[in-house]
Structures are given as structure tokens and as C-alpha cells.
Amino acid sequence: MVDACATLYSFRRCPYAMRARLAIAIAGVVVTLREVVLRDKPAHMLEISPKGTVPVLMLDDGTVIDESLNVMLWALTQSDPDGWLKPEEGTLEDMLALIADCDGDFKHHLDRFKYATRYEDVDPLSHRREAEAFLAMLEARLQDGGWLFGGRPCLADYAILPFIRQFASVDRGWFGGAPYPALQAWLAAFTEGALFQSVMKKYPQWHPGDREVRFPE
């Protein structure tokens, strides 16, 4: 473990914060974790990152990183014991391109499938069908090695998995019967694995003056 002298504002169920915690945990970089309630965001978090989304990582020198993928890359450049930045097949640029597809079109359709009532004139099932193009592409990639870039996990897997988990949770019955066996096995290996369990521990909402929580423990 390496003490990074950094503070991470996080929200347990947010897939963006989840991917950040996954990378920090696998890197063994210890940070101070402050659990946020999104309807009651800490003043300090909003001061250092006015956009008000998690994760927000503040380093000891005052540098603020408030994009989840950049938090992942920061952690893995400190320590990358499992080679997440060096996939068995392909390159870092290939992984970043696939993650961009997830964060772009797929996330657009995921939001309208999961939160249809937040948007006007949205048919959630049409957005589910649109999102399936991304699922089918992942299914094809997973056929051979079981992971997105070969036979072991990498940055792309753990950057994308939290969003597939979120998608699957909207209608578990439909997802369980959908024609994506490799994708379903990949997701199950993730959610049943020790790394996921370790980053999903519940913490109380942080308030100024509370005892600081070290993560990973």
C-alpha cells in the first residue's frame, strides 16, 4: 500500500465513482475517502469542483482530478500491479476508445432506459434496443478470452463494468434472458468477485470534523 496523501469524494452507487475506487483499490494507493450524499453535497467538494459530480480527488498539493477516468489513470500510474494499462491484446489507446464509446452513446441510451421519466417523449425500450448495439459488440469481444482485451482484465473492463451492471439492474429478468452469455458471465465474475465487494462497503455520509476513513482499508 502507498499513502497518496489525497482525498476522494465518492458516492457508493455511482458507476463513475465505482470505477475510480476500483482502480485506487487495485493500485493499492491509500486515500482519505469521504462518502457523499448527492442531495447534500459538502461545501468543500463544491468549492474545489463546482460541477458537483463524483468522484472528486484532491491531491496533497491541491491538484484536483474530477473526471473518473482520469482518477483511474492517476491511480494506475502510481502503481499497476495487475497490468491494467498494458492489456494482453491491443493498446491503451484502443482501451480508451472503447471506454469513450461506453461513456458516449451507450451512456446516453442507458440514462434514457433507466431514467425515462426524467426526459420528455422518451421510449425506454427503444433506448434499450439502441444500447444493445454496444452490448453485442462487447459480447463478441468477450467470446475468446473472457475479458475485453484478452485473457485477463484491464482498464477497459473495470471502466465499463459498472455501467453494464447499472444497465442489467434496470430489468434483471430481461437481461438474464438476453442472448449475451459471455457478457452475463463477465458481469457475474465482476459482481461476485472480491475486488468489487471490497469497493462496495457502506460508509456513513461524511461531515466536516468526522473521523477520516482510509481507503482501501
pLDDT the model gives residue 1: 78
- Strand 2-10: give its sheet, edge to edge: 64-65, 56-58, 2-10, 29-35, 213-215
**Are 189 and 169 found together in one domain?**
yes
Same domain, 186 and 102: yes
Number of folded domains that form the chain: 2
Tell me the residue length of the chain.
217
- Nearest alpha-carbon partner for 34 in 172, 110, 115, 49: 49
Residues 102 and 186 in one domain: yes
Range of the domain at 23: 2-83+196-215
Q: Is the pLDDT of residue 217 over 90?
A: no
- Interatomic CA distance for residues 186 and 120, integer angstroms: 34
What pLDDT does 199 receive? Answer: 98
Mean of pLDDT values over 165-184 = 97
Mean pLDDT of the chain: 96
What pLDDT is recorded for position 3? 76
Q: Looking at the predicted structure, is the pLDDT value of residue 4 above 70?
A: no
CA 50 to chain centre: 21
Give the pLDDT score at 204.
96
Does residue 97 sit in the same domain as residue 187? Answer: yes
pTM listed for this prediction: 0.96
